[in-house]
Structure 1
Amino acid sequence: MTRRTVRARLTIIYCGLFMATGVILLVTSNLVLMNTLARRTPTASAPLTGVPPEGTPAPGTGPMVIKQTFHAFNASVLRDQWITTGVIMAVLILVSVIVSWRLAGRVLRPLHHITATARRLSLSNLHERIALAGPADELRDLADTFDGMLERLQHAADSQRRFVANASHELRTPLAIQRTVLQLGLDDPSPEQLARVRGQLLEITARSEALIEGLLVLAQGERGLEEVEPVALADLVRQVAYETPAEAVTLSVDAEPFDVIGDEVLLARLVGNLVHNAVRYNRPGGEVDVRVSAQGLLTVRNTGPTVPEDRIGELFEPFRRMDRTRTRTGSFDGAGLGLSIVAAIAEAHGATLTAHPNPGGGLEVNVRFPGTRAQPRLRQLTTTVPAGREP
């Protein structure tokens, strides 16, 4: 089956419209001419101009001869008119085919440019853009939309490359440490050395498990929500705060009733990561303040080291860490996925995530959940959660 291009279809449409309008115009004009000639032709009862009322008419000037002459003239005029209009119509159709073909090609030229650019693009040259010039028409909008899509694809590809590189590094590091620990332990297989190796291996394994779990949660948050249900955000925040170790800081919760439509497990991870980070990146004797408003605003504020304004955006990227003193002790650091998981879960729930440094040090993170209905306000709950006590 012959493939009919858009250019051919546009040419057929243009020529068809021209032929239809041309035929209607020419046929209408010929019919009007025919009707005019018929009305101007004298009938048998009408007197003929130039014929004497009495007497014998001159040869060749009788009424019948004159009527026949009129009819022959009308027929000749109509025949010549139809022939002339037919020839003109044929010439105009040929011209319209040529003009329509060239016009369709000119109209579709930007589309060919867009198609050629799309075929040429790959992961190695996503930086290229169509940058279509010309009037602000539909094709220009299509090219601009395509350029915007390329911008997003380039950003996603760059993020994926960084993520894969960082994940490979993070997974390779504990494996190298495990191999080193095993080699040192086997060189001196004494009970004390084996006990020390066992503890180090367990610690490294726990780090690897935490990293893999963080990667899975991050992927789930970026994939979106499968099942949603009303989640009491205030109760969830109080539960997470109760389960968070906070020996060196004071953790306070001020929660008003509010329901979030979403995934309870992911929301618990969002709140848990925010609270854990607020406790971890703090100073001894510092404070962590967690609030939930009736308008769906979750705020986690902590004291601690000063966070540079220009580095806040980095905190929500995977595997980014701040070299700050932490109140929580441990022989290995976090994987740098906490706030990136928060950002992915917030986006999956349609929430808006913002952060800014506190004047006296520390960070304030706000998560606003839209499109939910708050529970009837009973009373404002303000509690201080010491370590190991229920709020």
Structure 2
Amino acid sequence: MRRRPGMSARLKLTLSYAAVVLVSGLLLLAAVGLYLLRYVPDVQIPYIDFRVPNRSDLIRAFVPVASVVMVVLLALGLGGGWLLAGRMLAPLERIGDAARLAAQGSLSHRIALPGPRDEFRDLADVFDSMLEQLEAHVAEQQRFAANASHELRTPLAISQTLLEVARDDPERDVDALIARLQEVNARAIDLTEALLLLSRADRRAFTREIVDLSLLAEGAVEALVPLADRRGVAVEVGGAPAPVLGSSTLLPQLVTNLVLNAIVHNLPSGGAVAVRTHSMPHAVALVVENTGELLPAHRVATLVEPFQRGAERTRSDDHAGAGLGLAIVDRITQAHGGTLVLTPRTDGGLIVTVWLPHPYPVEPSA
């Protein structure tokens, strides 16, 4: 049902200001009438040289003047209220204009409200901050969508090429074609599942419960030991219990991604991975350190972006990945109120530290 348009906020404020002025004037006149005129007798006071006005005389002289004063006060209340309301609501109009532009898709506009800090200035600053975050988030999502479409197009294009070649070459090995198609299809499925997991972490729609990162680390290492052995990577795990309040589905994925990346992005032979957990009074930490190639700082800063791979790998790699490992780790960490820190090792490799809030923080003693 469509609502009928009502009075504007400016008109409401104007009427409110005028009503306050009018009521104040009436109260003042009432005070004069009650506390002053009642002491003047309403009888003729005899004097020889001049006539002393009584109460009725004063009322007859006072009422017309009071009426004119009330009209003037009403006009001043309406006019002044309209001007004051306009000045007071001007910041809201600027915020409303910015909101309309944002609704139309323009997120680059900023209010930048001048003047001293007050409630309107705080509201405008919060709105500008929200627009800035929305603009950054939309830009990131657009980059992500473009990268995702490119990554998903690749296995589909490979499958189409393989099928076209097989159609034009009746003598082609069918078993090899099926194996290759199965490999391409498996990678497409892995990429799709990674995208869904990343979207779930962004929504933060999960049930929270107590999860021990040290147990997750031991489980991830145990599951990935065969891969590490094939690659000649020694994996070490240890540390203190590290309980956190989070998702029992997303946190194991976080740990598994970190250990898998550390194994895959390592030296060709003789590599090492160390997985440790720490518990602090207010936070817990998961540290995954691996050997590998030298990583410059500018390259490390891009590793958490979607589809950024830490090293060049051939398509024959059995864990080529989709370039979403650290991106998923970063999103899961943020969804749990934590921080992801990447530090390059001086002799090659990477140290990845995940800081998460402790579910039972210890207050410092006085």
Query: TM exceeds 0.5?
Result: yes
Q: 2:119 aligned with 1:138, yes or no?
A: yes
Q: 2:57 aligned with 1:99, yes or no?
A: no
Whole-Å Cα distance in 2 between the matches of residues 183 and 263 of structure 1? Answer: 45
Given the superposition, is the C-alpha separation of residues 81 and 64 from structure 1 closer, same or farther in structure 2, using an over 3 Å criterion?
closer
Partner in structure 2 of residue 240 of structure 1: 220
How far 1:313 moved relative to its partner? Answer: 2.6
User: What is the TM-score normalised by the length of structure 2?
Assistant: 0.88
Identical positions, percent: 39
Whole-Å Cα distance in 2 between the matches of residues 198 and 166 of structure 1? Answer: 27
Whole-Å Cα distance in 2 between the matches of residues 144 and 178 of structure 1? Answer: 51
Aligned 1:303-322 pairs, distance under 5 A: 303-322=291-310
Report the more deviating stretch, 25-34 or 89-98: 25-34
Partner in structure 2 of residue 169 of structure 1: 150
Report the more deviating stretch, 344-353 or 212-221: 344-353
Amino acid at match of 1:91: V
Partner in structure 2 of residue 344 of structure 1: 331
Query: Residue by residue, what CA displacement relative to the aligned partner does 1:75-100 show, whole Å, maximum 9, x if unpaired?
Result: 32232123212211121111211111
The question of whether the paired residues in 2 share the 8 Å contact of 1:30 and 1:81 is answered with no
Given the superposition, is the C-alpha separation of residues 186 and 356 from structure 1 closer, same or farther in structure 2, using an over 3 Å criterion?
same
Whole-Å Cα distance in 1 between the matches of residues 356 and 148 of structure 2? Answer: 30
Whole-Å Cα distance in 1 between the matches of residues 45 and 174 of structure 2? Answer: 136
Match 1:185 to one of 143, 166, 174: 166
Q: 2:339 aligned with 1:355, yes or no?
A: no
Given the superposition, is the C-alpha separation of residues 220 and 2 from structure 1 closer, same or farther in structure 2, using an over 3 Å criterion?
closer
Match 1:286 to one of 267, 271, 290: 271
Q: Structure 1: state its 5+ residue gaps.
A: 44-62, 375-391
Q: Structure 2: state its 5+ residue gaps.
A: 362-366
Whole-Å Cα distance in 2 between the matches of residues 163 and 281 of structure 1? Answer: 23
Match 1:228 to one of 200, 204, 208: 208
The question of whether the paired residues in 1 share the 8 Å contact of 2:101 and 2:109 is answered with no
How far 1:195 moved relative to its partner? Answer: 2.1
Whole-Å Cα distance in 2 between the matches of residues 294 and 344 of structure 1? Answer: 22
Match 1:219 to one of 187, 199, 203: 199
Amino acid at match of 1:170: E
Whole-Å Cα distance in 2 between the matches of residues 26 and 64 of structure 1? Answer: 25
Q: 2:13 aligned with 1:6, yes or no?
A: no
How far 1:64 moved relative to its partner? Answer: 7.6
Larger radius of gyration: 1
Given the superposition, is the C-alpha separation of residues 36 and 361 from structure 1 closer, same or farther in structure 2, using an over 3 Å criterion?
same
Amino acid at match of 1:265: T
Whole-Å Cα distance in 1 between the matches of residues 335 and 14 of structure 2? Answer: 48
How many residues align? The count is 349
Amino acid at match of 2:147: N
Whole-Å Cα distance in 2 between the matches of residues 225 and 2 of structure 1? Answer: 39
Amino acid at match of 1:9: K
Aligned 1:81-100 pairs, distance under 5 A: 81-100=62-81
Whole-Å Cα distance in 1 between the matches of residues 353 and 104 of structure 2? Answer: 35
The question of whether the paired residues in 1 share the 8 Å contact of 2:45 and 2:54 is answered with no
Whole-Å Cα distance in 2 between the matches of residues 77 and 234 of structure 1? Answer: 93
Which 4+ residue blocks in structure 1 deviate beyond 6 angstroms?
A: none
The question of whether the paired residues in 1 share the 8 Å contact of 2:198 and 2:331 is answered with yes
User: What is the TM-score normalised by the length of structure 1?
Assistant: 0.83
Given the superposition, is the C-alpha separation of residues 75 and 23 from structure 1 closer, same or farther in structure 2, using an over 3 Å criterion?
same
